[in-house]
């Protein structure tokens, strides 16, 4: 008997995605991706149990090494609609040596919560993510905001960021989850967003981009094509963006010279 918290697959999906059961209402089951930021529903009869051994453990990709002693790295504010994903994301930031402050906030509450957090923490980089999904695969509705589970909340939260700091290089915004409304997120102020192809992103993809920007010097533009190709699922896009790391100088010399 399948129960809440179990790992399952959907019989008819070709992508072999593994989900965790979020809740069950009679024969209707809400599922969330175990490693992808996708939320969906299925019928109980269409689910097949699976085990933790079937979940692929993906190593975090390496990013360019920087002299951590010589720079103040960019600070990340990470808002996540999934509490489990948030814990994993914060662990990944620590592995990259990036300072990150994280909050679990349901997607629908992000627009009202983010302004206070921006003023409280004054971050260099903001990540706005959680779960999302296209409600219909009808291609004629791809630009219909009502066809997305949570994109409208990500867009509103991004707008709040741009009210706070309009300049794209003063505050770097990374927004979206699986299948999110990419064009609307970019048009409303995101530097990076998902998903141009309306495909799934890995839970670590926004973290990888944020860490790369946090470690890139402020006098350099990040190498966008390399940054995007370094993500795990490679389904995000973005704009030319400056790094957020600042070199430390002492008495007219950088700390590299001491």
Run of H or E residues at 211:
helix 205-215
The CATH superfamily label for domain 68-238 reads Cobalamin-binding domain (3.40.50.280)
Q: In what order do the strands lie in the sheet with 28-33?
A: 39-43, 28-33, 19-25, 7-10, 47-49
pLDDT of residue 39: 79
Domain ranges of the chain: 7-52, 68-238
pLDDT of residue 258: 53
13-45 burial: b if 16+ Cβ within 10 Å, else e: eeeebbbbbbeeeeeebebbbbbbbbbbebeee
Spans in the chain with pLDDT lower than 70:
52, 54-59, 64-69, 252-258
pLDDT of residue 49: 87
* The length of the chain, given as a count of residues: 258
CA-to-CA distance for 105 and 162, rounded, in angstroms?
Answer: 19
Reference 72, options 101, 97, 103, 93; nearest CA is 97
Reference 68, options 98, 108, 94; nearest CA is 98
CA-to-CA distance for 126 and 173, rounded, in angstroms?
Answer: 5
pLDDT of residue 55: 66
CA angle 191, 169, 219 (to 5 degrees): 125
Reference 29, options 16, 46, 10, 42; nearest CA is 42
């Amino acid at each position: 008997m399948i129960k809440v918290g179990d790992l399952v697959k959907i019989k008819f999906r070709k992508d072999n995605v593994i989900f965790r059961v979020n809740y069950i209402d009679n024969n209707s089951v809400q599922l969330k991706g175990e490693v992808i930021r996708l939320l969906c529903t299925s019928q109980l009869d269409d689910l097949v149990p699976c085990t933790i051994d079937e979940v692929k453990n993906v190593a975090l990709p390496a990013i360019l090494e920087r002299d951590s002693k010589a720079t103040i790295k960019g600070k990340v504010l990470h808002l996540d609609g999934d509490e489990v994903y948030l814990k994993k994301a914060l662990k990944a930031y620590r592995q990259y040596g990036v300072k990150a402050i994280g909050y679990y906030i349901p997607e629908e509450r992000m627009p009202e919560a983010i302004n206070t957090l921006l003023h409280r923490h004054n971050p260099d980089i903001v990540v706005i993510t959680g779960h999302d999904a296209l409600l219909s695969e009808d291609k004629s509705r791809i630009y219909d905001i009502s066809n997305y589970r949570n994109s409208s909340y990500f867009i509103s939260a991004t707008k709040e960021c741009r009210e706070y700091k309009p300049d794209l290089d003063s505050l770097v915004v990374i927004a979206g989850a699986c299948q999110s409304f990419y064009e609307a997120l970019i048009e409303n102020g995101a530097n990076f967003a998902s998903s141009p192809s309306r495909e799934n992103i890995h839970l670590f993809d926004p973290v990888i981009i944020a860490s790369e920007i946090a470690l890139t010097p402020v006098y350099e533009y990040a190498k966008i094509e390399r940054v995007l190709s370094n993500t795990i699922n490679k389904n995000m896009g973005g704009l030319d963006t400056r790094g957020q790391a600042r070199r430390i100088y002492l008495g007219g010399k950088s700390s590299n010279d001491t």
